Amino acid sequence: MQIGILGTGVAGQTLAAALAEKGHAVTIGTRDPAETMARAAAKPPAKVSFREWQQANPGVKLATFADAVRSANVVINATSGVGAMSALEDAGADALGEKILIDATNPLDFSKGMPPTLTVCNTDSLGEQLQRAFPRVRLVKALNTITAALMVNPGAVNGGDHTLFLCGNDTDAKATVKRWLDEWFGWQDIVDLGDITAARGMEMYLPLWLRTWGALGSPMFNVKIVR
């Protein structure tokens, strides 16, 4: 499968490496590939620069947002929340078309330090804003409620016995994403919360998630829906 991942941060790198290892053709999109490759220092929370990371993952290509999307059967949005809209605008509505877009972003504002605040909440969400801006895209909100390492390896916590949430307006797209997340990473318990307005709750969970990380001293945790 041809997979385009938007964003060169930890989430993008983690997803790209895991998917490439499984034999998928992965292209990471960035605003300026030359600048990204020239950056010598790591961009926190990454441990190494993107250039060093790609040397260790030579099968992953780097391209502009537009080129990464054009080559893809499915797109994963792993940008920062504040950069998500502009990344999709750079990719372009024509390139995105009616592709499935897995949106793993959160509207976090770190401008005043930790803990971050939400740039949108209660009556709207970043997921809804992206879907409104690109109405043809089949957006599925998923993977935004867990740390990057757990996205690709649910078995690292409680043997994988915990819950992943998703939402979106396109029923067929959600079913496809559920199947992919199982095939790609082994996710078993995936709860569909309904249409894209459910992204409000998924994104507003992040302040609690961050506080829990602080209390536990590790981001390697998740919730489980006990039925």
- When pLDDT is averaged across residues 72-81 and rounded to a whole number, the result is 96
pLDDT, position 46 = 77
Specify the residue for token string 């590939």. Answer: 33
User: Domain limits at 17?
Assistant: 2-216
155, part of any domain: yes
225, part of any domain: no
226, part of any domain: no
pLDDT, position 101 = 98
6, part of any domain: yes
pTM of the model: 0.96
pLDDT band at 48 (very low <50, low <70, confident <90, very high): confident
pLDDT, position 185 = 98
Q: What is the pLDDT of residues 89-122, one digit of tens each?
A: 999 999 999 999 999 999 998 888 888 889 999 9
Burial (Cβ within 10 Å: 0-12, 13-18, ≥19) of residue 4: buried
146, part of any domain: yes
The CATH number of residue 85's host domain is: 3.40.50.720
Q: Quote the number of domains for the chain.
A: 1
70, part of any domain: yes
With residue 117 as reference, give the H or E element that holds it: strand 117-118
**Percent above pLDDT 90 for the chain:** 87
221, part of any domain: no
**How far apart are alpha carbons 96 and 138 in whole angstroms?**
9
33, part of any domain: yes
